[in-house]
Chain A
Amino acid sequence: MFEIALILLSAFMIASSIIAVWFKDLLASTIALAVMSLILSLYFYMLHAPDVAIAEAGVGACITTALLVIAIKNTERMEEVEE
């Protein structure tokens, strides 16, 4: 059961990372990165490291997302497609 949960969480993390690279909308990419960070903190918690999990949830899922959202708000939202 535990191993199945870990494999599922790994699959979700890889999927959200691929989505973050694949999207052209940078705001959606930021949200996908936040989801990846949140799943990573859950992963840390399941591996009996709650200290690292709290730090990851606070810094990775909140402050990094806010910094990227502020940066996107002051630049362009859509990534330019180069041919």
Chain B
Amino acid sequence: MTPVVRTIAALIFPFIIIFSFYVIMHGHLTPGGGFQGGAIGASAIVMLIVAYGARNVKKKAKEESLSIFESIGGLVFVIVGIIGFVAASSFLYNFLVGEPLFGTIPPFGSNPGILNSGGILPILNIAVGMKVIGGLASVVLVMALAGGDEE
């Protein structure tokens, strides 16, 4: 791509990543969640692949490391579910209610939204976001790498 496209892509890449983290972290309060934020974050990496070429992106993020990142997300999801099974009664039991981490019980009625609430839901959102970012980015990266040489 031309230098204009490359410069603009490098300039707005951190903003898209920050917005993706925002959507993932506020998944239990506002529209969005793990999949939506992960799709936004993967689209940032896809933008870099289109602008800079797959070879240059592969130097920074190999598909093996993206695959490891994705697997960590899935593993965190399953481990949190099994902890709920062990610590309490059922799979994915919300064992964090009342704890200092994500455990605040919001007051009854309408409120502006307390970020430090939701129990295990933010952790599950982060896990799903990691999985979606790794999966979608590695899909596009492998397809761009398989296509032969390009700029």
A: residues with CB less than 8 A from B are: 50-51, 53-55, 58-59, 62-63, 66-67, 69-71, 73-74
Indicate whether A58 sits within 8 Å of B46 (C-beta atoms), given known contacts A66-B140, A74-B148.
no
**Majority-rule SS of B interface residues:** helix
Docked pose: A74 CA to B148 CA in angstroms: 8
A67 to B143, CA, bound (A): 8
Number of A-B contacts (CB under 8 A): 56
Interface string of B111-151 (1 = CB under 8 A from A): 00000000000000000000000001001100110011010
B50 contacts A66, C-beta separation under 8 Å: yes
For B148, what are the chain A residues with a Cβ–Cβ distance below 8 Å?
74
Alpha-carbon gap, A55 to B40, bound state (A): 8
Q: Give complex CA distance A35, B147 in Å.
A: 26
What residues make up the interface of B, taking CB atoms closer than 8 Å to A? 23, 31-33, 35-36, 39-40, 42-43, 46-47, 49-50, 136, 139-140, 143-144, 147-148, 150
A55–B132 CA distance with the chains assembled, in angstroms: 12
A70 to B147, CA, bound (A): 8
Known A-B contacts A50-B31, A51-B33; A63 and B143 likewise in contact (beta carbons under 8 Å): no
Q: Please judge, given known A-B contacts A51-B32, A63-B42, whether A69 and B50 are in contact too, CB under 8 Å.
A: yes
Q: Which residues of B contact A51 (CB under 8 A)?
A: 31-33, 36
Whether A63 lies near B136 (C-beta < 8 A) is yes
Contact of A62 with B36 in the complex, beta carbons under 8 Å? no
